[in-house]
Chains A and B, each alone.
Chain A
Amino acid sequence: MTSEQRPLNEWALERDAGALFSFVDSICRHCHSAGESPSYLKSSKKFFKYINELGDATKEYLSTFPSKKPNEPRLYQYYRQRLETIRSGWFEIHLLIKSAADADTLNVPYALVEAFTRRLNRVQGFEDTTFAIFHIDELNYWEIPASEIKQTTDKFKRYIPDPPQFPNVGMIGIPYSQSSSLYLNCLIAHEMGHYVFEKREVKEKLLPYIEAALEDVIGKHFEAANDVTLQWSKDRLAAWAEELFCDLFAVWLIGPSYSFAYIELFGLTAILDPTDPSGFSVTTGAGSAIFSAEHPADLLRLKQHVSLLQELGWWGEVDEIKSHYVNVLRSSAKVNQDIFEYRHKEMPLASETIHAFLRLVPQVSIRLADSMKGPGGRKLDTGLASYVKFSACIGQYLERAVVPSTVFQEDEHWYPDDVAILNASMKFYLESLETLMDGIKGQKKFLAGHRSRWIKRVEALAGKAIEDYQLLAGETGAVRIDGSFKRADLRSPESADL
């Protein structure tokens, strides 16, 4: 040891613990003020409060860390490393703080999240579920796995005395730029599906079927298969099953608007090919036919959307929409399953794993149906009846740029429900935007900028109607029929008699 070197003793631990204390403190300071602000959803505030409490507990622990060091010098290094593991845990939390702080109520699709949540609240076991929204840099939607954050922070319990309880909220990340979008934010419904998948322990229920599917496909080579490779296959099947479950959950929760939003965000109209007799062409290895580590191929996912839309009775309505988005759905239903490939073809068992997944798909549907039960075992209604009743009328209101929160039909005033408004306005957006533009002077359909303005307007009108529905549905005297409400008779008793 040279004269400049300090011995690795309690002093060094004090210094290192102090540095980590400072790191944790700087993270917590960011969410301290946010937690107090009135401009956050209640669930976001719960999250901020939790982080603050966890930070206090961690800092308290770090204050005593050096004094509890082992006596044996050979253990020093291994004791010291604990600080790095705690620091890494806080890396995980750090990633979430700004995302949560950016997502105040002015910058999240508040009405849509509330509408989806209200529908989920009708499913047994999710009556009190709420979601915190996070802004993310990526142009994608995430469910931030609450269970994994909880698992991480639960593991802190081994070091930190009396850590706070993780709040019972779902956490969803949306692209920061899309807070005012209505249609793309339909993808939030898929993220809610991840929360349901986890809470219903669907993965655990699927594992025996995953094993059986792999065994069926690999056959006699199953026993001889390399353990690490088999683990890889299992993880892929579980991840793909989860994604498919969430897609189907979203279709059930909000109807075909989820499928249309999916097609739009991922540019899947590119598969359409007017030169091909079938109307579409997908070659083996095309992007939409590729499975990635965490996601099944887009076309397989859409194919399953169509199956569920048929099963739920939506397909007849979808089939009537005059849009090339519907052609994408029709085409995906015809896709030959041989075209699917894994991103890295050289991966052992990649092809077999995809084949095993195709066998697993029916089990995912069974688990979904099982998960959508409301009180008394009745499955969550799809919202189709209300859509069928009001779709045309909502379209007429949008054509005149009027908010369709109260519509007049059959000599009565009605409040159409969220699913009807969302899907009818999506139908209008896909096939009739031009009729709205035709009624406005100087609007040119061939200019993307002009179109964009009216797309935003339609989204705003529909978004306002969805927001209004939350209030109108609570009107005294309103009569509920198929999810929508007939307005209360507001006339005075005298005039009603006339």
Chain B
Amino acid sequence: MSSESEVRSRYLALALDARKVIDALIVFVDKGERQGDFDQSLQDAVTSLQAVKEKKEIFSPSRNLLAFSEYYEQVRTVDEALKPTEREQIVEKLLTVKTQSADLKKQQDDAFEAIKLLSTIESRALYYYRPQP
């Protein structure tokens, strides 16, 4: 019999995955560096955020690169934390950074906006995860 903690850990997985992308973007905004698997992290986030809208993706066994859309609790948290337009904004801004389709200043501004939105998801997920005293 699985426990409630299993459900709670889905929120933690979401927070950790949002954090992964935030950390990569912080270095980019601060130093202009694309460290390690920067592009892949961004692409994984884009894929996972877009997956919510694709029915076929919901049932795909291999789709879950990041935990924005693996479980209902995660989808609902993203849904609550961000308006649909904000979700689209993250995807758009991450793609601008990933494809380098603007000058560096614009990319860094977009990255900073994406950090703010992803941080909202992270905070909300941590809120649901933590036991309240």
Q: How many Å lie between the Cα of A210 and that of B60 in the bound state? A: 11
Q: How many Å lie between the Cα of A208 and that of B17 in the bound state? A: 26
Contact A78 B115 (CB under 8 A): yes
Instruction: Give the size category of B's interface with A.
Output: 35 or more
Main secondary structure of the interface of B (DSSP, over half): helix
Chain A CB within 10 A, most for which of B53, B59, B62: B59
Q: Nearest-CB distance from A55 to chain B (Å)? A: 18
- CB contacts under 8 Å to B, within A199-228, are 203-205, 207-208, 210-211, 222-223, 225, 227-228
| Identity of the chain A residue whose Cβ is nearest the Cβ of B75 in the assembled complex | A231
Annotate B90-107 by CB proximity to A: 1 below 8 A, 0 otherwise.
000000000000000000
The yes or no answer to A337 lying at the interface (CB within 8 A) is no
Given the complex, which residues of B lie within 8 Å of A293, measured CB to CB?
A: 7
Contact A95 B5 (CB under 8 A): yes
Other-chain residue from B17, B26, B52 in contact with A227 (beta carbon distance below 8 A): B52
| Identity of the chain B residue whose Cβ is nearest the Cβ of A70 in the assembled complex | B30
Given the complex, which residues of A lie within 8 Å of B19, measured CB to CB?
A: 81-82, 85, 158
Contact B58 A231 (CB under 8 A): yes
Contact A194 B22 (CB under 8 A): no
Annotate B14-29 by CB proximity to A: 1 below 8 A, 0 otherwise.
0111011011001101
Given the complex, which residues of A lie within 8 Å of B22, measured CB to CB?
A: 78, 81-82
Q: How many Å lie between the Cα of A89 and that of B122 in the bound state? A: 13
Contact A191 B26 (CB under 8 A): no
Q: Nearest-CB distance from A217 to chain B (Å)? A: 14
Contact B30 A72 (CB under 8 A): yes
Contact A239 B12 (CB under 8 A): no
The yes or no answer to A71 lying at the interface (CB within 8 A) is yes
| Identity of the chain B residue whose Cβ is nearest the Cβ of A142 in the assembled complex | B3
Contact A173 B3 (CB under 8 A): yes
Instruction: Give the size category of A's interface with B.
Output: 35 or more
Contact B61 A204 (CB under 8 A): yes
The yes or no answer to A412 lying at the interface (CB within 8 A) is no
Contact A74 B61 (CB under 8 A): no
- CB contacts under 8 Å to A, within B100-133, are 112, 115-116, 119, 122-123, 126, 129-131
Supposing A227-B55, A243-B1, A294-B2 touch, asked if A70 and B26 sit within 8 A by C-beta, the answer is yes
Annotate A69-107 by CB proximity to B: 1 below 8 A, 0 otherwise.
011101101110110110011011001000000000000
- CB contacts under 8 Å to B, within A112-160, are 138, 140-145, 148-149, 151-152, 155, 158-159
| Identity of the chain A residue whose Cβ is nearest the Cβ of B57 in the assembled complex | A227
The yes or no answer to B13 lying at the interface (CB within 8 A) is yes
The yes or no answer to B34 lying at the interface (CB within 8 A) is no
Contact B130 A91 (CB under 8 A): yes
Contact B123 A81 (CB under 8 A): yes
Contact B126 A239 (CB under 8 A): no
Contact B13 A155 (CB under 8 A): yes
Contact B1 A235 (CB under 8 A): no
30 chain-A/chain-B pairs, Cβ below 8 angstroms:
A70-B29, A72-B29, A74-B112, A79-B26, A82-B19, A85-B126, A88-B126, A88-B130, A89-B12, A92-B9, A95-B5, A140-B1, A155-B16, A155-B17, A158-B19, A190-B1, A194-B2, A204-B61, A208-B59, A211-B58, A223-B55, A225-B55, A227-B55, A228-B79, A230-B58, A231-B52, A231-B69, A231-B71, A234-B59, A242-B2
5 interchain residue pairs of minimum CB distance: A211-B59, A204-B61, A70-B30, A155-B16, A235-B72
